[in-house]
Structure 1
Amino acid sequence: MLPVYGGKCLSSKAVHNWVDKFPQVRSKVVDCVRSGLPVEIATEATVQRVEELIRVDRRITEEMNRMGLSLQHLLRYVEEGEDLLNTIITGDESWVHIYEPDSNCASMHWKYPTSLSGSTKNFKVTSSAGKFMLAAFCDSQGVLSVHFQNRGENMNFASYREVLLKMRDAIRRKRPCQLAKGLLLHHDNAGPHTCRATQERIQELQWELLEHPPYSPDLAPSDFHLSDPLRDDPDGKSFADDEEVETECRSG
């Protein structure tokens, strides 16, 4: 066999193995059909399919998701009316600085076209390094719960879980009938809001989550009624200690 087949000749051990297999399970010397990944992946059909997926406008899927959620909320509002709005509790976080300089709009001056006076120069002033993370929740009747993190401390999933418990206690005091009727919690898709630990806490509290579409350009109500007023109200003010900051925010 060696003079005929040369280097392709089977060894004596391989020949013995084939002889042992034929009486048992083998009837052919060719390879049997096996399951698994195909030998060739970059086929013409595969390349064409991948190119279609890359070139398609992927924003359509997100837009359809956003429109679908909006339609779902509108249909629910048609069925439930104002009762639906009264069950929604929305919240968000915002930084509060110990010193917040005047905004550009607040520092503007009125001038007539015929005025001869030169333009007023304003010095560039930045917010103070000392700041607090504030988390506030409200419903259709007003503010329900306000929570302050320690100075410079950001909101993570563990602290947000505790904030939800404090909000539940505030609802029991201010809206004792709300928990029995059920409530809809609305917040954006920040990391502490969407993590598994927070979702488990919401399920424990038996609250329903009002979905906010991911990557949505729509702003949450807190963007209008929390963040901007917190920046505008203390403009140009400087607070002596942490208690003054909390008092100013709660009174506002």
Structure 2
Amino acid sequence: MVKKWFTEFRCGRTSTSGAERSGRPKEVITPEIVDKIHEMILDDRRIKVRELAHAIAVIRTNFCAVLLLWNNRNSGFRGERGPKKAKQSLSANKVMATVFWDARGVVHIDYLEKGKTITGEYYSKLLDRFDVDLKQKRPHLAKKKVLFHQDNARVQTCLVKMAKIHELRYELLPHPAYSPDLAPCDYYLFPNLKKWLGGKRFESNEEVITETNAYFESLEKTYYLEGIKN
């Protein structure tokens, strides 16, 4: 820079002021422009930034500064609120399902009612309903000990639930040490259910339940057996 100025003065220059340049003015944030934007926005609250910039022929970077100035000056203008936005229609809520299955297929499915949570007492009553279905669908197990495998979620390891397991005389299989909370067999059953439901839209929880039941009914018996073996 010093070399440049040295050369300029050596060639006869005597002033340090910059020469006039062509192009846009240095300052575009003027009261006239702000007032013009003010009128345009009041006429149409949904007008786009691109349309405003085109109307007043201001470069976008400086125009954003103009808009910010207008917004600060008119914040809370007349106590008006912004335009209401249309709400998107929501899909069905999440549905919590508890699935009991063996090598022959699904024995019992429980869908949690909306607004409820699974507690030790709820799960204990759920085991009673499962035991009824188990005796009806697997009568050959009536005089045999049932091997029961589950994940290690807290609600399934509480005292109330463990007492119910003992009452039903199920043999609880140990959960693998240092394993995630999911039971190993869950990795075989539920990922494909996720693919089955993927991309579909449901208007109610009943539609989700119907589609889930259809998924389990569509599986071959060998699928469950291979899942247990794996």
Give the TM-score taking structure 1 as reference length: 0.46
- Asked if 2 retains the 8 angstrom alpha-carbon contact of 1:189 and 1:214, the reply is no
Residue aligned with 2:95, SS: strand
Q: Deviations over 1:38-80 (max 9, x none)?
A: xxxxxxxxxxxxxxxxxxxxxxxxxxxxxxxxxxxxxxxxxxx
Counterpart residue number, 2:206: 243
Counterpart residue number, 1:45: none
Q: Alpha carbons of 1:217 and 1:149: their partners in 2 closer, same or farther (altered >3 Å)?
A: closer
Counterpart residue number, 1:63: none
CA deviation after TM superposition for structure 1 residue 228, in Å: 1.1
Q: Deviations over 1:181-229 (max 9, x none)?
A: 1111100110111000001001111111111034325952442233312
Residue aligned with 1:181, SS: coil
Partners in 1 of 2:116 and 2:193 — Cα distance?
Answer: 18
Counterpart residue number, 1:197: 160
> Which portions of structure 1, spanning 4 or more consecutive aligned residues, are displaced by more than 3 angstroms?
none
- Asked if 2 retains the 8 angstrom alpha-carbon contact of 1:185 and 1:209, the reply is yes
Partners in 2 of 1:161 and 1:176 — Cα distance?
Answer: 22
Q: Which moved more, 1:167-176 or 1:223-232?
A: 223-232
- Asked if 2 retains the 8 angstrom alpha-carbon contact of 1:132 and 1:152, the reply is no
Partners in 1 of 2:118 and 2:124 — Cα distance?
Answer: 10
Counterpart residue number, 2:145: 182
Q: Which amino acid aligns with 1:178?
A: L
Q: 1:132 aligned to 92, 95, 99, which one?
A: 95
Partners in 1 of 2:162 and 2:97 — Cα distance?
Answer: 21
Partners in 1 of 2:214 and 2:122 — Cα distance?
Answer: 24
Residue aligned with 2:210, SS: helix
- Asked if 1 retains the 8 angstrom alpha-carbon contact of 2:91 and 2:204, the reply is no
- Asked if 2 retains the 8 angstrom alpha-carbon contact of 1:161 and 1:198, the reply is yes
Partners in 2 of 1:178 and 1:212 — Cα distance?
Answer: 23
Partners in 2 of 1:198 and 1:229 — Cα distance?
Answer: 29
Partners in 1 of 2:148 and 2:194 — Cα distance?
Answer: 25
Structure 1 stretches lacking a partner, 5+ long: 1-126
Counterpart residue number, 1:173: 136
**Count of residue pairs brought into register by the alignment:** 126
Counterpart residue number, 2:123: 160
- Asked if 1 retains the 8 angstrom alpha-carbon contact of 2:92 and 2:204, the reply is no
Q: Alpha carbons of 1:133 and 1:222: their partners in 2 closer, same or farther (altered >3 Å)?
A: farther
Matches within 5 A, 1:1-252: 130-151=93-114, 153-217=116-180, 220-252=183-215
Residue aligned with 2:107, SS: strand
Partners in 2 of 1:238 and 1:146 — Cα distance?
Answer: 22
Q: Deviations over 1:55-108 (max 9, x none)?
A: xxxxxxxxxxxxxxxxxxxxxxxxxxxxxxxxxxxxxxxxxxxxxxxxxxxxxx
**Structure possessing the higher relative contact order (Cα contacts under 8 Å, 6 or more residues apart):** 1
What is the RMSD of the two structures over their aligned residues, measured on CA atoms? 2.1
Partners in 1 of 2:112 and 2:163 — Cα distance?
Answer: 22
Bigger-Rg structure (1/2): 2
Give the TM-score taking structure 2 as reference length: 0.50
Greater percentage in helix: 2
Q: Alpha carbons of 1:161 and 1:138: their partners in 2 closer, same or farther (altered >3 Å)?
A: same
